[in-house]
Amino acid sequence: MTSPEESPDPQPAIANLPLWKSFSVGLFGSIFFAVVIAILLNYSRAAIGLDLSESTTTIIGWVIFLPFYLVVMVSLWKCAYNTSRPFLGYLARGYTVVSTLFLVAIFVTIMLE
Transcribe 39-77 into DSSP letters.
HHHHHHHHHS-----HHHHHHHHHHHHHHHHHHHHHHHH
* Structural domain includes residue 102: yes
The reply to whether 42 falls in a domain is yes
pLDDT tens string 53-103:
666 777 777 788 888 888 888 888 888 888 888 899 899 999 999 999 998
Q: Is the pTM of this model over 0.75?
A: no
Q: Residue 80 falls within a domain, yes or no?
A: yes
User: Is 6 part of any domain?
Assistant: no
Domain that holds residue 81: 19-112
Residue 8 inside a domain? The answer is no
SS3 22: helix
Burial class (CB in 10 A: 0-12, 13-18, 19+), 22: buried
Report yes or no: 18 and 82 within 8 Å, Cβ to Cβ.
yes
Residue 88 lies in a domain: yes
Query: Structurally, how many domains does the chain consist of?
Result: 1
